[in-house]
Structures are given as structure tokens and as C-alpha cells.
Chains A and B, each alone.
Chain A
């Protein structure tokens, strides 16, 4: 069964159409990468999937249920977690306070800390430091730790590698692969494809708001240069 499915999604900002009939499936316990050049509509597709942007037409199905019009917080409360581009942490709060924010789900603070430090031991060293003073990689770790603290069933990651050194990106994707092995379904959007294709079970290339190609990562490697360079 697909944990997430987009069927014929059209989306627009005011009168500017961005997505044109996007079909995408995220099967249970798998990592799906949505790749494409800047401005292709990747982040909009994620926003539609998370309920943050209403599609003009088409269906969003979560766990087989049509959820068009459902408020994003309703989906989040049930286990859909979006880690947005730019990380979405509170820079003026400490790591500890950022993690405490996730107790809205009813999870105890001790459990939140335990989950965070299990995967990101470095955050323990930075526990009382304000989030804005962390390095880019540590901020992304904090964003992921906050997302994983909610024990999500479906994790949506937007541009995980944005502004990070390749070694940090690899480290983060190792954690993504580990989370996927634990049974969490993951949809990840990336502009830089090489690392994510190493952990993805399926991938789709989006160009000009349309899915140009979808399949196993190995099948898509050759199409990436066409998508990015138009070659």
C-alpha cells in the first residue's frame, strides 16, 4: 500500500500554474526521491503532499485516504512530518527549547531527548546553545531530530543538503537510510541528486511541473543530465 500518493495534481500560485498533473507514489517503508532543477515544482509538490498548499485539481491520498482540504496540523498530528527547506528551527531558542517544542504531540520530554540523542549525539553537546549559533549541519540535525521526535510514519524532507558540506550531507543521508530501515516512509526532494540516489528505492524527475521520468534510481541516472541541462 502507498503511504502517500499524488494523483493528477495541478497547483498554482495565484494565476501562475506550477504543477501540471503530477503523479507520485510513496510505498510503505521506502525512500522516494523527487529530483529536478531549480523551479521545477519540487517544493510545491511537497507542500501539496503535506496539506500546506491546496491543489487546483487532483487528489492527495495518505494511507489510501483522500485528504484534500484536510488541515496540515491534522495530518502532522497523525504522523506526517515535513522538514522544510531552510530547516524551520527557532534560531533564538536553545537546542533544548527547540526539542521541547515537539512535546505538543504528547510525547514526553525525556523520550524526545532520547530519540534525538540516539541519532544525533552531537546535539547533546550543544544542548544549551542557541540554535542560530549552530553550524548548518547541526541545524539540519536539529531540524531532523525535531521531526523524528514526533515518531512520524511519513517523513517529507525538502532540500536536506541545502548549503551543507558534502561530508555532512552524506552523514545526514546515512541517518535517512537508517530511519527508512526502521519502517518510516520518506519522500525527499533534492536538487543535488547523487547522494540521495544512493539511499532512494524509487526516484522521479520533475521538469517544468511535470514528472518527466520515474523508476528505480539506477534507471534514472542517465536522464538526470537531460533534466538539469536540457541536453
Chain B
């Protein structure tokens, strides 16, 4: 059997090296902002492509405008999905925290009444 102190040190080392998912919400905020930016940029590009195609009679330029419009709409859809995903996560987290707080407050009230 490994020496006890050595075993404890090994345990600490292994726990320290373990990959633990970072519960921080910082990454969520970044994705939320990226989602908003993609939506705005995508819609802007699509609108610009519309005016671009109307401002020319050259079919090649119009084709470019169509490609730009599709790329813009794709970007807006992806951005919308990101926004929905991370804003919902944020809302649910808030809702859960509030729910736990209310449950706790309710239990405290019951315990207090029972104690009287």
C-alpha cells in the first residue's frame, strides 16, 4: 500500500488535475453578444444586398447580391439561435435561483411556526 501521506498528496494532485467544467457564466454572455451581433450584421448585409441588386442591371452583380443576401440571412438565423439559447439559459438560471430562495423562505416560515 502507498504511504498514507504520499497517497493524500497523490489524491490532491489527481483532483487538482481533473478537468472540471467551468460554471462561470462569462462564456454565456460572450455567446449572447455574438448572437446579437450576428443577427444585426446578417440583417444589415441582407438589406444592403437588396439595394445592391436594385442598383444595377448587371446580372453578375445581382448574383453576388443574392449570395450576400443568403449569407446574411444564414448569419441572422445562427445569431438568433445563439441568442435564444443563451438568453433562455440565463433566464432559467435566474428562475431556479428565485425558486430555491422562495422555497427556502417558505421552509423557514414553516420551521419558525412549528418552533413556537
- B-contacting residues of A (Cβ < 8 Å)? 1, 3, 10, 12, 15, 17, 20, 28-29, 56-57, 62-70, 74, 78-79, 115, 151, 153-154, 182-185, 208
The answer on a CB contact under 8 Å between B8 and A28 is yes
B8 contacts A183, CB within 8 Å? yes
Q: Which residues of B contact A (CB under 8 A)?
A: 1-5, 7-8, 10-12, 14-16, 18, 20-21, 23, 96-97, 100, 103-104, 107, 111
Give the docked Cα–Cα distance between A78 and B8 (Å): 11
| Contact indicator B20/A66 (Cβ below 8 Å) | yes
Please, could you name 16 A-B residue pairs with CB atoms under 8 Å apart, sorted by A?
Answer: A3-B8, A17-B103, A17-B104, A17-B107, A57-B97, A57-B100, A64-B12, A66-B20, A74-B18, A78-B11, A78-B14, A78-B15, A79-B10, A79-B11, A79-B14, A182-B4
B1, A151: Cβ atoms under 8 Å?
Answer: yes
On whether A62 and B15 interact (CB within 8 A), knowing A56-B100, A153-B10, A208-B111, the answer reads yes
- Residues from chain A with a CB closer than 8 A to the CB of B7 are 79, 151, 153, 183-184
Which of B8, B16, B97, B111 has the largest count of A CB atoms less than 10 A from its CB? B8
* Nearest-Cβ distance from residue B114 to partner chain A, whole angstroms: 9
Which residues on B sit within 8 Å (CB–CB) of A66?
20
A78: chain B residues at CB < 8 Å are: 11, 14-15, 18
Q: A153-B11, A183-B3 are in contact. List 12 more A-B contacts (CB 8 A).
A: A12-B103, A17-B107, A63-B12, A63-B16, A64-B16, A65-B20, A67-B20, A70-B18, A79-B14, A115-B1, A153-B10, A208-B111
